[in-house]
Amino acid sequence: MELDWITEGPGVTNSVDAALSDLEEHGAAILADALEPGLLRELHDATYHAAHTDRKYGLAQQYEFGEDDDVNQRIWNMPSHDPVFCELAELPLAIDLVTRTLSWPASLSSMAANILHTGSGSMLVHCDQGHLPGPLTQSWVLNLGWLLDDFTPDNGGTLFLPGSHRLNGERPSEEAIARMIPAVAPAGSLLILEGRTWHTNGINLSDKGRAAIFAVYTFPVLLPQENWFLSLNPSARQFGSETLQTLFGFRPQILGRVNGMDGI
Ligand SMILES: O=C(O)CCC(=O)C(=O)O
């Protein structure tokens, strides 16, 4: 297979417009300073607290999708863990990016933390809409990866294959996969991946954890990865804004009605 579709990859930018054009060209973008420091601290602490609590009470999970090892920790359903993750889901920057790439209204398909403790290995190389019937001629998914720790080449920063969105879902060859590059950026940055870009997490060879929150958005015609109707903490629905309720699927648009549209 020709490999001339592989691009050199995006740089780190401070501009949303530049990030969106990187996303179009490379299938990925890195936006610096996407989280203000107070919010970053709160998200970081809430994530590591949830990780600690899950381990303490025997609730710790890994992602079964791939070759995970016992030092990778996955926390699904983050909006149910702490209201700060609801704030993240509907951050104006997130909604702006979703609206300009997918459209609005949109759904939150899942929001999970991926924490690589020291020694954690890579998961399966995948693209986030690989479960859809191909060819995938458009992006149906936007993955917003919020970096809670610095991503470095040796702590498992997400590895991605720039330009691989042009394969329309076809799995890259091993030769191409060998040319994946790590996302390297400071905590508080945002890694943006469109649904056809092949990626995985790197290997954490450092002596500290590496955490990120992956918020995956999609069109409201697709079943979300997380079944919010069963798994969401009821307070998120009860007290959540209209935007949040839309993201979780509690505000039907054309599909998902309850006796029509009125009085829900
Ligand atoms: O943790 C990472 O760097 C990548 C995570 C990922 O690919 C996923 O959650 O599907």
Domain spans in the chain, listed from the N-terminal domain onward: 12-248
Burial class of residue 252 in the structure, from the number of CB atoms within 10 Å of its CB (0-12 exposed, 13-18 middle, 19+ buried): middle
pLDDT of residue 120: 87
Find the range with the poorest average confidence among 54-58, 103-107, 158-162, 253-257.
Answer: 253-257
Ligand 1 atom nearest residue 116's Cα: 1
pLDDT of residue 89: 98
Measured CA to CA, the distance from residue 167 to residue 3 in angstroms comes to: 10
Which residue has a Cα nearest atom 7 of ligand 1? 200
> For residue 240, how many other CB atoms are within 10 A of its CB?
20
Q: Strands (DSSP E) along the chain, which ranges?
A: 12-13, 28-31, 72-75, 107-116, 141-147, 159-160, 181-182, 190-194, 199-200, 210-218
The domain 12-248 having CATH identifier 3.30.450.40: the answer here is no
Q: What is the dihedral of CA 10, 11, 14, 19, to 10 degrees?
A: -10
Ligand 1 atom nearest residue 199's Cα: 7
Average the pLDDT over 103-123 and give the result. Answer: 94
Average the pLDDT over 142-160 and give the result. Answer: 96
Ligand 1, residues 214, 217, 226: which to mutate, most atoms within 8 A of Cβ?
214
CA of 260 to the centre of ligand 1 (A): 38
186 vs 66, which has greater pLDDT? 186
